């Protein structure tokens, strides 16, 4: 009797084909060797690391510090050397101007403005003028006055820094024989101011003196004092001046007291 295995005589076993409805990854397997996997992972990590570094560097730029320095100009040594002779030249010019001299012209008879211009042409720039009548009038418009006298004699040679003083009267007036000097208080005594202009009388007294002026003819206001002359005064001439008030009566020059 021959023994037969139970499976013998049956059809050989055939594996069942995979189903077609499953996911794609089930259809095909990809096997990656272990060494190749490590290599790929290393490349990915390297790329990720380098990318992270670039992002951090670009997102946080290093601060830039700017410092402005203003350069100071340096004066050349030769310029400083040249400055000293310039100062010396200016000093020499000033000395020459002070030492310059000129002959004084004859100004008498000239209009005051013309005389002043002529003096400046000769180099005289320090000029003054006064009222030859002693009335202490101010020469507001020089063209309305004429020269009667000069303090430096004509023809004399003097330094051009000398002050020239012209005595003058108005064009329609006659020059006096000599300039009348303004009155002055001396020795603490009241001067004789009768006949003087109120303006000159006021100038003869201390600036703090209280002065009252009234019209001797009518009840007019004495406005332009150089056009008025003193008729009476109180205190009288020769009285001691001790700060007491002074009183004048006056009329216009063309009038009689």
Assess whether the previous peptide bond of 91 is cis (omega < 30° from 0).
Answer: no
Burial per residue of 205-241, b for 16 or more beta-carbon CB atoms within 10 angstroms, e otherwise: beeeeeeebebbeeeeebeebbbbbbbebeeeeeeeb
Give the pLDDT of residue 184.
86
Q: Which of 134, 164, 168, 169 is nearest to 151 (CA)?
A: 164
Tens-of-pLDDT digits for all 257 residues of the chain?
444 544 445 555 555 555 555 454 444 454 445 544 444 444 454 444 444 444 444 455 555 555 555 555 555 544 444 444 555 555 555 555 557 999 999 999 999 999 999 999 999 999 999 999 999 999 999 999 999 999 999 999 999 999 999 999 999 999 999 999 888 888 899 999 999 999 999 999 999 999 999 999 999 999 999 999 999 999 999 999 999 999 999 999 999 99
Fold entry, domain 101-170 = Trypsin Inhibitor V; Chain A (3.30.10)
What pLDDT was estimated at residue 207?
Answer: 92
Predicted local confidence at residue 204, as pLDDT: 95
- Element at 128 (helix H, strand E): strand 127-131
This prediction has a pTM of: 0.58
**Domain residue spans in the chain?**
101-170, 198-252
């Amino acid at each position: 009797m021959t023994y037969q295995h139970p499976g013998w005589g049956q059809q050989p076993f055939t594996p069942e084909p995979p189903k077609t409805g499953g996911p794609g990854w089930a259809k095909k397997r990809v096997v990656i060797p272990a060494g190749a996997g490590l290599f790929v992972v290393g490349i990915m990590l390297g790329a990720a690391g380098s990318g992270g570094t670039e992002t951090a560097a670009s997102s946080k730029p290093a601060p830039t510090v700017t410092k402005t320095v203003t350069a100071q100009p340096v004066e050349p040594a030769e310029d400083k050397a040249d400055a000293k002779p310039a100062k010396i030249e200016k000093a020499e010019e000033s000395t020459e101007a002070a030492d310059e001299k000129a002959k004084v012209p004859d100004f008498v008879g000239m209009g005051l403005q013309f005389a002043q211009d002529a003096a400046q042409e000769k180099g005289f720039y320090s000029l003054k003028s006064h009222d030859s009548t002693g009335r202490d009038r101010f020469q507001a418009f020089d063209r309305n006055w004429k020269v009667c006298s000069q303090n430096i004699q004509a023809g004399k040679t003097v330094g051009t820094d000398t002050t020239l003083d012209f005595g003058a009267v108005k064009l329609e007036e006659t020059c006096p024989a000599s300039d009348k000097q303004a009155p002055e208080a001396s020795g603490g005594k009241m001067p004789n101011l009768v006949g003087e202009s109120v303006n000159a009388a006021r100038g003869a007294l201390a600036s703090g003196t209280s002065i009252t002026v009234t019209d001797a003819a009518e009840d007019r206001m004495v406005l332009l004092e150089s056009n008025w002359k003193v008729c009476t005064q109180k205190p009288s001439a020769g009285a001691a001046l001790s700060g007491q008030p002074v009183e004048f009566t006056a009329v216009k020059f063309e009038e009689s007291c």
